Structure 1
Amino acid sequence: MRTLLNIIWVVFGGIWLALGYFLAGILACLLIVTIPAGIASFRMARYVLWPFGRSVEPKPGAGAGSAIMNVVWFLIAGWWLALAHVATALAQTLTIVGIANAYVSLKMIPVTCFPFGKRIVDNGTIF
């Protein structure tokens, strides 16, 4: 079931969101200071491309460095990627099949805005 949901997700918006994260990662890697943001963006691009069966959890031991990088990330790319998630969710709600995808897209916004101090883990649940 997860595979079917992931395929529907990719077709109806996941590929474009993942490309946005990939572009943000490339831009962030241009400066030495923002390379950690670029690495986080590539990690999130994988999550956004195939989200069903994965979840986001707080990373134990994340400290002040994560908070500082979250601010840098939000200013560089977090806000416009969050807007992309909202626009994608609005487009996905036009079909009945897309409503579940819209929910997942909106659920990703907190990690989109503040990815540091979190980790993406595989789990056995659908949502």
Structure 2
Amino acid sequence: MSFLSFLLNVLWIIFGGLWMAVGWWIAAIIMAITIIGLPWARAAFNIGFYALLPFGQRAVPRDQYTGREDVGTGGLGVIGNIIWFVLAGWWLALAHLITAIGLAITIIGIPFAWAHLKLAGISLWPIGMMIVPADAGAPDPYPARR
């Protein structure tokens, strides 16, 4: 992690990142307690850590990054994301959106508002995403041609 990413992450935690990460972890714990929600709990914990330290990382579709589909990136992932949206996604996205609006009022808060907007999008459809270092190369769209 570069010094700039470290500095931005520290400022991020101070200006709203910590409480949003806690929101993700609360959603994950609630999902885990229900037992039925275990598939969503793992995604919520992972994205909660991303919500805590977003600078220097990025979220990418897992099938594009790995070059192969799995349970979370196929049809079951779509169904899982619809269920997630109904149970927890909309209120996490709303919290990110409200925080982004508050931060966008100031010039200094604009980069943090943008990060909250990206997290709001992930909040709506997290299944099938993975968090990778920002400096990781773009996935090869044709891995079989090597």
Q: TM-score range by the shorter chain?
A: over 0.9
Please, what TM-score do these two structures have when normalized by structure 2? 0.82
- In the alignment, residue 12 of structure 2 is paired with which amino acid? W
Structure 2 residue 81 is the aligned partner of structure 1 residue 70:
yes
- In the alignment, residue 8 of structure 1 is paired with which amino acid? L
Shift, 1:89, TM fit = 0.5
- 1:55-110 deviations in whole A, cap 9, x for unaligned? 11111102111111101111111000000001110111232211110011111222
Shift, 1:123, TM fit = 1.9
Number of aligned residue pairs = 125
Map 1:20-99 to 2 at 5 A. Answer: 20-60=23-63, 61=69, 62-99=73-110
Structure 2 gap ranges (5+): 64-68, 137-146
Map 1:7-26 to 2 at 5 A. Answer: 7-26=10-29
Structure 1 gap ranges (5+): none
User: Secondary structure of the equivalent of 1:33?
Assistant: coil
Larger Rg computed on CA atoms: 2
Match in the other structure for 1:106: 117
Please, what TM-score do these two structures have when normalized by structure 1? 0.93
Distance 1:22 1:118 in 2: 17
- In the alignment, residue 71 of structure 1 is paired with which amino acid? I
Question: For the aligned residues, what is the CA RMSD?
Answer: 1.2
Q: Percent identity of the aligned residues?
A: 39
